Chain A
Amino acid sequence: MAIYPDPTALSGGPATTAAGPTPADVAQADADVEVALESLGQWQLAWRRFRKHRMAMVGLGFFVFMVLVAIFGPIIVPYDPLNIPGSTIPGGMPPSLAHPFGTDNDGRDVFAMVVNGARISVAIGGISMLIAGIVGVGVGAIAGYFGGWVDNVLMRVVDTFFAIPLLFVILVAARFFGEGQVTSLILIFGLLSWPIIARLVRASFLSLRESDFVEAARAVGVKDARITFRHILPNAIGPVIVAMTLIMASNIVLEAFVSYLNFGISPDQTSWGNALANAQSALGLGNWWWAFFPGMAIAITVMAINFVGDGLRDALDPRTRL
């Protein structure tokens, strides 16, 4: 209900005289600043806000580091985690200079396991997150776009996913269908974690379908499909990205748990969960390092991702503008 919000009236002010800038000039200069702010674009603005979030930047830094470890670590680290040296001590050796994280039952270096495990753990978290994002956005958009019975059916399916305790299904799927394969596990995690995203996307459809700018787009004859992709989806992207970070974090943990139960990655490969698989028995001997370090790797990575998610939440929320 602003009384005079009409910046367009600014153009075409009177000519400048020698006495100094006219009011219109001053106002124009002011408006230029505003325009410059506007044209920064949604993403640049978000990035600027994100940078102000200190923990999010720390999280992002650590996450990038972990991705680099996942890619290059196995090349650099001197121990082959699956190469079992002759001397094996029950419960492994404590941390030392040669083995900073100690060794396990079979004399394998825990540091090497953590570094090498990063690859599979980060890949499972990351790719399953992408799958969940694609399926979730697709289902949510279809439900929101078509509405009616399509929406009803899809949402009951989503409700079902929310009602079934996810871990129950994941255990069965990992054991019966996973066959220790990384790709199967990625598919299982991805295909079981999309419903939350579908819900978010559909919710923003419901709230945006009737909103002013969508009405406006419709009024000037923009096609519905176009409205969906140009106007509605970009507005849902904030919560979706935040939810995706959460999915990535929780899938890294799920992989670890499933592998810890020996239902996940086959033992001849290394993931953080596999590294923990036989650690429980060592704890009874007081040998904490075997369980401690891989778990810390998971915890810190997950925390970094959560920090990034938090920063994104603040940066992408239109309400924190200004």
Chain B
Amino acid sequence: MGTPPPPDVLLDVRDLRTYFRVMDGTVPAVDGVSFQVHRGETLGVVGESGCGKSVTALTIMRLIETPPGEIVGGEVWFNGRDILTLSSDEMLQVRGAEMAMIFQEPMTSLNPVLTIGDQIAEAVVAHKKVGHKAAWDRAIEMLQLVGIPEAQRRVKQHPHELSGGMRQRVMIALALSCDPKLLIADEPTTALDVTIQAQILELIRRVQEETGTALLLITHDLGVVAETVQRVVVMYAGKVVETGTVDEVLQDPKHPYTEGLLASIPSQGLRGTRLNVIRGSIPNPFRMPVGCRFAPRCPYAFDPCRDHEPPLEGPGDGDRRVACWLHSRPPFGIEHRPRYGTSTATALAQRTAGVAS
């Protein structure tokens, strides 16, 4: 239907919608998500728990289980074709070969009854059309690449013989074993110790540089984002609320949600003090707010926010986009009268004034 993106865009997600139909109703886990990943680039996806980051990633991999999940709309252009239109057999050629994924839970993501060598070699045999011996050598080579000592011995071990950090290294080795063009890392460090987290991130950065693969890094750690990615997508309740380069978004957040996220990072020397957190919790998925989904928690929300969904638009040019009525011209006939009380809000409103009137 749509037209392919320019060749330098490796992944172009357009208005993607994935819903889950469960006993009590429909969960719009991903509801109109759009973003692009350029070749070799690192894109960060941030947002609090349950906002649909993993579902977005799994949808791109076409790993959503149907039922209960269903990709109800959108396009996923990858390497020149819309992979949502591929048959499941054609998808086998893409998954693992052209795009690969690392999961959040290293402890459970490897098959407990197979050796790690078998698990890596299996992917290599499937995609590289090589024999078992060559695949096995490749597995050892990959384990060495991800910094596993004594790879020759480790390759014959079972997952339970490895620590969590080691297992995540194995997952990375597995993901990269077939030279994918896109690596999706879904909170690859969340389940690990802090010291190990840094090592794994460093490893991901290093192998990405060495292999030149593009990286879609999902996280809710803005510190990681600041250190690792070039561009950021901020998600809230199944929608993208803000995108831009990492500097733009972190230095000059436009969406109140992004602002809240940044405010909740404990600053140096202030550990132990109460964080400035966003009030309330994510909306009930069965009763999504009609207007802006963040409105019930937003300190600046005003009337249009509760009735009308803000579009994701650029306040200026470039890739910078934000979905907030503070930054968009409200629909015709809606009174635009922001209420504010705090100094930040005043500043924001002033900034808005130029756009809105």
Q: Do A and B have CB atoms closer than 8 angstroms in the complex?
A: yes
Binding site for B on A (CB under 8 A): 1-7, 9-10, 14, 17, 19-20, 23-24, 26-27, 30-31, 33-34, 49, 52, 320, 322
Knowing that A3-B220, A10-B280, A34-B284 are A-B contacts, what are 5 other residue pairs whose CB atoms are under 8 Å apart, sorted by A's residue number? A1-B190, A3-B49, A4-B281, A23-B296, A23-B301
Closest Cβ neighbor of B27 among chain A residues: A322
In the assembled complex, B194 has its CB within 8 A of some CB on chain A: no
Contact indicator B295/A4 (Cβ below 8 Å): no
Q: In the complex, A3→B280 CA distance in Å?
A: 11
Name the distance in Å between A114's Cβ and chain B's nearest Cβ. 38
Contact indicator A2/B23 (Cβ below 8 Å): no
In the assembled complex, B297 has its CB within 8 A of some CB on chain A: yes
Q: In the complex, A49→B261 CA distance in Å?
A: 37
Find A10's partner among B22, B279, B301, B339 (CB 8 Å cutoff).
B279
Closest Cβ neighbor of A24 among chain B residues: B279
* Known A23-B298, A23-B299; contact A2-B48, beta-carbon cutoff 8 A: yes
Name the distance in Å between A249's Cβ and chain B's nearest Cβ. 26
Contact indicator B264/A3 (Cβ below 8 Å): yes
A-B contact pairs, 26 of them (CB 8 A): A1-B190, A2-B281, A3-B49, A3-B220, A3-B278, A4-B264, A4-B278, A4-B280, A6-B277, A6-B281, A7-B281, A10-B280, A17-B339, A19-B339, A23-B297, A23-B299, A23-B301, A24-B279, A27-B279, A30-B280, A30-B283, A31-B280, A33-B284, A34-B284, A52-B23, A322-B24
Q: In the complex, A30→B288 CA distance in Å?
A: 11
Binding site for A on B (CB under 8 A): 22-24, 48-50, 190, 220, 260-261, 264, 277-281, 283-284, 287, 295-299, 301, 303, 306, 339, 341
Residues of B within 8 A of A1 (CB): 49, 190, 220
* Known A33-B284, A322-B24; contact A3-B277, beta-carbon cutoff 8 A: yes
Q: In the complex, A320→B261 CA distance in Å?
A: 31
* Known A23-B296, A27-B296; contact A3-B48, beta-carbon cutoff 8 A: yes
A interface: dominant SS: helix
Q: In the complex, A217→B49 CA distance in Å?
A: 28
Q: In the complex, A17→B340 CA distance in Å?
A: 12
Contact indicator A3/B261 (Cβ below 8 Å): yes
Closest Cβ neighbor of A34 among chain B residues: B284
* Known A6-B277, A10-B279, A26-B296; contact A20-B48, beta-carbon cutoff 8 A: no
Q: In the complex, A41→B190 CA distance in Å?
A: 33
Closest Cβ neighbor of B280 among chain A residues: A27
* Known A23-B301, A30-B280; contact A4-B48, beta-carbon cutoff 8 A: yes
Central interface residue in B280, B283, B295, B306, by most chain A CB within 10 Å: B280
Closest Cβ neighbor of B283 among chain A residues: A30
Contact indicator B277/A322 (Cβ below 8 Å): no
Residues of A within 8 A of B261 (CB): 3
Name the distance in Å between B349's Cβ and chain A's nearest Cβ. 14
Contact indicator A9/B279 (Cβ below 8 Å): yes
Name the distance in Å between B236's Cβ and chain A's nearest Cβ. 12
Contact indicator B280/A7 (Cβ below 8 Å): yes
Closest Cβ neighbor of B261 among chain A residues: A3
Contact indicator B281/A5 (Cβ below 8 Å): yes
Q: In the complex, A186→B24 CA distance in Å?
A: 42
Residues of B within 8 A of A6 (CB): 277, 279, 281
Q: In the complex, A24→B280 CA distance in Å?
A: 9
Residues of B within 8 A of A14 (CB): 341
Residues of B within 8 A of A10 (CB): 279-280
Find A23's partner among B48, B264, B279, B303 (CB 8 Å cutoff).
B279
Residues of B within 8 A of A4 (CB): 48, 260, 264, 277-281
Residues of B within 8 A of A322 (CB): 22-24
Closest Cβ neighbor of A25 among chain B residues: B296
Residues of A within 8 A of B306 (CB): 26
Central interface residue in B277, B279, B287, by most chain A CB within 10 Å: B279
Residues of B within 8 A of A26 (CB): 295-296, 301, 306
Residues of A within 8 A of B339 (CB): 17, 19
Residues of A within 8 A of B24 (CB): 322
Closest Cβ neighbor of A19 among chain B residues: B339
* Known A9-B277, A23-B299, A322-B24; contact A30-B48, beta-carbon cutoff 8 A: no
Residues of B within 8 A of A49 (CB): 23
* Known A3-B48, A4-B48, A322-B24; contact A20-B303, beta-carbon cutoff 8 A: yes
Q: In the complex, A51→B165 CA distance in Å?
A: 46
Name the distance in Å between B265's Cβ and chain A's nearest Cβ. 10
Contact indicator B264/A30 (Cβ below 8 Å): no
Q: In the complex, A99→B306 CA distance in Å?
A: 71
Residues of A within 8 A of B48 (CB): 2-4
Q: In the complex, A91→B59 CA distance in Å?
A: 67
Closest Cβ neighbor of B265 among chain A residues: A3
